[in-house]
Amino acid sequence: MSKKILVLPGDGIGPEIVVEALKVIKRLQDDFGLDVELQSGLIGGCAYDAKGQPLPEETLLLAKEADAILLGAVGGYKWESLDISVRPEKGLLGLRSGLELFSNLRPAILYPQLASASTLKADVVSGLDIMIVRELTGGIYFGQPRGIKTLDNGERQGFNTLVYSESEIRRIARSAFEIAMKRDKRVCSVDKANVLECTELWREVVTDAVSDYPEIELTHMYVDNAAMQLVKAPKQFDVMVTTNMFGDILSDCAAMLTGSIGMLPSASLDANGKGMYEPIHGSAPDLAGKNEANPLATILSVSMMLRYSLGETKMADRIDSAVNQVLDDGIRTYDIFTGGLTKVSTSQMGDAVTAAL
Ligand code: IPM
Ligand code: MG
């Protein structure tokens, strides 16, 4: 039976990068027997414009029925003044929590061909291969109470709550350990246990959970130090596991080690391996419609989808080799362009990868 993929292009550059990923999927269907059925839906600002909601009920239903979801990006200036409850980002967060996609994998891999595109020295980043495992459905992003209230003295006060239960910490820790078992078996858990009780518990539970994984070498690091170490000596890390907000911040930082945030895919998985796949960059409204964005993060997200949710390892490898081939050939979108190579548009990059398949 063919697997169902729900495609949610979203806003900004989302639609144009997703089109390139779809070319890749089509090629795999036509020439390599990939058996998938595609559906599409609305999410984010475009969904708000059409339906008054950033996550329409029918999108959530389609997402629940799908075996995997491919998402472009959400958000843009146009919707920034909306009430926070209907902003495009709420659509994405609603999908993450509605599907219980608690485990967010953000690999930061430096393609050797791009060593000179990083703002860091080539010897600091060459060979870099980090997996950031970000908790995605809890923490301060979802904690209650939250809001903005007016105090008795008339001054307004904003507040959010950082909250994690033991079971939430344990499942993300186990997720990180499972991934590390297939890699170098080293996990660094990132917290702020010196200040925040919530992450004091985090450290305790992660430490307890590792007893089921005797081969894993577990270390702990405060988030401020982790940010510093990521730019100072990033190759010390294998797998990093952390909270929703710390993971949001550290993964952008790690992305830049690889030359461009336009290169980084991600997977957001539930307890059964069902997942949503998206580039970690946002909707980049300034670039939208210019045919300049880098579609590789989205194309590599398709590769992660094939690997993690659809059990199609060979096809995933095929995409990864095609991307390598294109980079070997010196083909670059502007964000990874360095002199002497061939600068191409979004659609030309998609065509190049499709041809290399
Ligand atoms: C990300 C993004 C999202 C987040 C936004 C768009 C809500 O920055 O996926 O990293 O903060 O999680
Ligand atoms: Mg982010």
Region 240-259: mean pLDDT is 94
61-116 pLDDT, tens per residue?
999 999 999 999 999 999 999 999 999 999 999 999 999 999 999 999 999 999 88
Q: What's the pTM value of the predicted model, to 2 decimals?
A: 0.95
* CB of 280 shorter than 6 A to ligand 1: yes
Q: Which amino acid is at 276?
A: M
* Higher per-residue pLDDT: 32 or 260: 32
By the 10 Å C-beta count (0-12 exposed, 13-18 middle, 19+ buried), 331 is classed as: buried
To test the pocket of ligand 1, the residue of 105, 248, 252 to mutate (highest count of ligand atoms within 8 Å of its CB) is: 248
* Mean of pLDDT values over 4-19: 98
Q: At 272, which helix (H) or strand (E)?
A: none
- Ligand 1 pocket check: which of 69, 92, 137, 253 to mutate, most ligand atoms within 8 Å of Cβ? 92
Task: State the sign of the Cα–Cα–Cα–Cα dihedral 291, 8, 134, 34.
Answer: negative
Segment 320-339 shows an average pLDDT of: 95
pLDDT tens digits for 284-319? 999 999 999 999 999 999 999 999 999 999 999 999
The answer to whether 73 and 283 have CB atoms below 8 angstroms apart is yes
Q: Is the model's pLDDT at 246 over the cut of 90?
A: yes
CA angle 49, 53, 59 (to 5 degrees): 105
Residue 259: what pLDDT? Answer: 84
| Cβ 301 vs Cβ 130: under 8 Å | no
Is 338 a residue whose pLDDT tops 90? no
Atom 4 of ligand 1, residue of closest alpha carbon: 248
Length of the chain: 357
β-strand pairing of 103-109 with 265-269: antiparallel
Query: Is the beta carbon of 89 within 6 A of some atom in ligand 1?
Result: yes
Residue 109: which H helix or E strand, with range? strand 103-109
Measured distance CA(262)–CA(294) in Å, rounded: 5
* CA gap 327, 337 in Å, rounded: 10
Measure the CA–CA gap between 307 and 318, rounded to whole angstroms. Answer: 11
Nearest CA owner, ligand 1 atom 5: 89
pLDDT reported for residue 320: 97
Pairing state of beta strands 147-150 and 156-159?
Answer: antiparallel
Q: State pLDDT tens for residues 178-232.
A: 999 999 999 999 999 999 999 999 999 999 999 999 999 999 999 999 999 999 9
Contact 273, 309 (CB under 8 A): yes
* Percentage of the chain modeled with pLDDT above 90: 95
Q: Whose CA is nearest to atom 10 of ligand 1?
A: 248
Q: How far is Cα 19 from Cα 354, in angstroms, rounded to an integer?
A: 12
Confidence band of 260 (pLDDT split at 50, 70, 90): confident
Please state whether the peptide bond connecting residue 145 to the residue before it is cis, i.e. omega within 30 degrees of 0.
yes
The CA-atom distances, in angstroms, between 231 and each of 158, 171, 223, 253 are 32, 28, 13, 8
Q: Which ligand is nearest to the CA of 75?
A: 1
DSSP E strands in 223-343: the ranges are: 239-242, 265-269, 275-279, 331-332, 342-343
**Alpha-carbon distance values, 31 to 27, 166, 357 (Å):** 6, 47, 9
Domains in the chain, ordered, with CATH? 1-102+270-357 (3.40.718.10), 108-259 (3.40.718.10)
Confidence of residue 333 (pLDDT cuts 50, 70, 90): very high
Of the pLDDT bands very low, low, confident and very high (cuts 50, 70, 90), residue 176 is very high
